[in-house]
A and B are shown apart, each in its own frame.
Chain A
Amino acid sequence: MSDSAKYDVACTSSGVDRSGKQGSLGSANKSGICHSFSADGRCISLLKVLLTNVCIFDCKYCVNRESNDIVRAGFTPLELAELTINFYRRNYIEGLFLSSGVIISPNNTVEQMIKTLELLRNVYHFNGYIHVKAIPGAENDLITRLGLLADRMSINIELPSQDSLKLLAPNKTKESIMRPMGLISAKIQENSSDLVKFRHASKFVPAGQSTQLIVGATPDTDHKILTLTEALYKKYRLKRVFFSAYMPVAEHSLLPSLDIKPPLMREHRLYQADWLLRFYGFEAKELLDEQHPNFNLEVDPKCNWALNHLDKFPIEINKASYEVLLRVPGIGVTSAKRILTARRSGSLDFSGLKKLGIVLKRAQYFITCKGKIMEGLKITSDVAISTLMSNQYQLTSQGPEQLTLFDEPPITREDVQQCLTGQI
C-alpha cells in the first residue's frame, strides 16, 4: 500500500505539542521527529499508507488512476490500527499518514477513514500524530468529523491551474479542492475562538493544513507556482506547501514522456524560495516576475535576489537590523539571531563571525565588519561579482578585464562561482 502512497511528499510530524496522557499511548512534538531516512534522503516520520488503492478517479499523473492496470488491495480499519500501534510502540514511527483512493464515492471513502481513526483514538487510545488526507468532493460534515480526529489535514492541489486540472485530472475541479480547503481553514479559525470560550472544546486539526503541488508535469512557471503558494499561506493560512518533482509513473499523450528525469533542481529552488517566504520575510514578487518567470538553476533564489540588488550591499554587520541580516546570502535564521545576541557584548569582526557559524565564503561579498571588507577579498566592484556569478550576468564587453583580474591566485572564477552557488 505504501508503494502507491509514496509519491506524497509531506511527511512532517510537526506543528503540535501534546504531552502523553494517563492511560493512553503517545505524544506529539512541536518540531517533529524524523524516525528514519529513506534511500532517497527523505525523512520517514509517519506510516504513510493508503486505506485502499482502488480508485474511481482517473487522474493522468497518478499510479492509482482507474485506467491503470495494477493489483488492487485494501486494509480493513482494524488491520491498519493494529499495524500503526505496533509500529508506534517499537518507535518506528511518529504516527500515521492516512490517505486513500476513492472507493464507491468520496463520502464513502471518508467514512471508512473516520472509522479507522475512531478505532485508533477511542479504542486503542492512540495519542500520537495523525495526518489525514481530505478527499476532494466529500461532504462538509464528514470533513469536519475527520478533522476533529486528526492533527493535520491536507488536500493536494497537485496542478497549479484550472486548465491543467481539466486536462489531467478530469474528476477534480478547482472548486472540489478549494472548497474543503476553505472549510478546513474556516473551521480552524472558528475552533480557535471556541477554545478561548470553552477550554475543553475539542481541537480541529491543531497542526493546521498543508497541500502539495506537482512541478514539471505541466508548463506552469515557477512564478505561477510561487504566487499560488504565497496566496495559500496568506488566504488559507496553510502551514506548509510541498512541491513534488514530477516522477513519470504513467504514460499518456498529455504528460511528459516516461524517460524524462524528474526536475529535482527546480523542486529544490522552489523549496528554497518557500523558505524565504515563510522565514525570511520575502515576498513572491521580489523573487520572480513576468520577465523572469523561472528560477535560475545555477544560483539559489536568495543569492539571485542579492545580486539583483547590489545597491543594498554591503551591509554593516554591527549595525544591520535582523530583517536586513536575513537578506545576506550565507546568513540564516540561526546565524542572524546569534549575531544579534553576540553584538550585545561587543562588536564583531570576521573571525568572530566564523565562530558564530556564518558561511563567510558566501557572505563575504555582501558585508562589512566595523566598516571594513574582508581582508584578502579581491573582488569589490559590483560588476565583477555579478559577472562572476553566472551566465545570465556575463557581459561580453568586459571579458579581457576579467581575465587580468583572475590571473591572481587567491580566488579563481570557479571558486567564486562555487561559493555563490553553494556547491562546495
Chain B
Amino acid sequence: MPDRTDLVYAYDGSFGGLMCCVFESYALKEIPRAIRPPDVEDSLFNTAKWIKSDEQKADRVFNSIPLKISPQAQELVKLGFLTCAPNKEFLIYQFLRLGFKHGSKVMTMLTDDTVCALQKAVHHLTRESHKFKGFIRFSIFGEVLVAVIEPKNFVLPLLSPHFCDRFRNETFMIYDKTHSMALIYRSQKAELIFVDELTLPTVDATELEYRRLWKQFYNTIAIEGRNNPRCRMSLMPKRYWGQMTEFNNNNDAENPSGSVQLLVAETATEIAPNAIGFLDSSFQYPTRK
C-alpha cells in the first residue's frame, strides 16, 4: 500500500464525509497523512484531496463497524466526532484502521497511542457533558427556559436526552455559544439548529427574586471554618462560572424588548429526544455548508 507522506484528505465536515474518507482510503489503498475539515486553508505546498460525501459509501463504512469491530467501537467513533480533539478526524481514521485489522480486540488495546488518545478525548467529552448537567442555569422568560453554555466539546447531543426527559412538559432552549448551535425543545420535540446570535429580553421581577434567593442560599451554605477555594476550583473550574447565576453580578439583562430573538441560520436538524441516534451520516457537525 503506497504510504504517500504528502497525501492530505479534505472533507465537508460532516460525519458521513469522514466515513467517506475512510472508504476512499481503503478503496484506493492509500494512507493519508492528515484529514482536514473544510474551514482550514490549503497550505502553500500541499493541496488536499477533496473527498466528496456520498451517503451510500458512508453508510457502508458506518454499518460495517459493529459487524467487523464491535458496537462499542461504533459508539466510541460517534462520540469521538463530538470531541474537541484538534485532530479528531485523523484519530478516528487511525482507530478504524486498527479496528478493521484487529477486530473487537481493539477496544482492549488501552495502551495503544491511538486508542488511548481517542478514549481520553471521549472521556473529556462525557465528563464535560456530565458537569453541564449540573452547571447549566436556566432563566425563565414567560414560559420559556433559556440557558447559555460555552463548552469546549460539542455536548448538546449528550445533554439533549437528559434535559428533554427532565423537563418533559417545558419549552426550553440551550444555546451553545462556542459552536453557535442551540438545542430547542418544544411540544415534546427537540431540534438542533445553528444560531448566530441570541438576544435575550429583560428579566422580570420574579426571575430576579429567585436569582437573588439562589445567590443567598449559595453564600450561606458554605461553612467558613472549612473554606477551601482550591478544592472548589478543581471540582468546578472557573471557565464554567461565566454563565452561572451564583457568580453573576450584573442582574440587568441586555435588551429591553419583549421576546427571545434568535438569528437563526437556515439548517435545522430535528433530533430524537432519547438518543444520539440522530447522529447519522447526514448530520452536520458545526461547520456550515
**Contact surface of A with B, Cβ cutoff 8 Å:** 2-3, 6-7, 19-27, 29, 33-45, 47-48, 83, 86-87, 89-92, 94, 128, 245, 247, 261-262, 264, 338, 341-342, 344-346, 348, 351-352, 355-356
Contacts and interface: CB of A to CB of B under 8 A. Distances in A.
Nearest to A22: B168
A40 B109 contact: no
B145 A264 contact: no
A128 B140 CA distance: 19
A36 B218 contact: yes
A262 B165 CA distance: 42
Specify which of A19, A47, A262 lies most central, judged by the most chain B CB atoms within 10 Å of its CB. Answer: A19
Contacts of A40: 222-224, 226-228, 231-232
A264 B228 CA distance: 11
A35 B134 contact: yes
Given A22-B168, A25-B169, A89-B138, A355 B244 contact: no
Residue of A24, A27, A37, A89 with most partner-chain B CB within 10 A: A37
A245 B223 CA distance: 11
B229 A39 contact: yes
Nearest to B113: A355
B137 interface: yes
Contact of B108 (A92, A94, A264, A342): A342
Given A7-B223, A27-B162, A92-B214, 19 more contacts: A6-B221, A21-B168, A22-B169, A24-B168, A27-B165, A27-B166, A33-B130, A38-B232, A39-B222, A39-B232, A48-B221, A91-B134, A91-B137, A92-B245, A128-B166, A247-B223, A247-B225, A342-B108, A352-B111
A25 B166 CA distance: 6
Given A7-B223, A83-B213, A345 B109 contact: yes
Contacts of A45: 134
Contact residue range for chain B?
A: 35 or more
A94 B109 contact: no
Interface centre among A47, A83, A89, A261 (most CB of B within 10 A): A89
Contact of B235 (A37, A48, A261, A356): A37
B147 interface: yes
A262 B225 contact: yes
Given A92-B245, A355-B111, A87 B166 contact: no
B166 A92 contact: no
Contacts of B229: 39, 41
Interface in B133-185: 133-140, 145, 147, 162, 165-170
Interface string B245-258: 11000000000000
Contact of B214 (A39, A41, A42, A90): A90
A23 B168 CA distance: 8
B187 interface: no
A89 B113 CA distance: 43
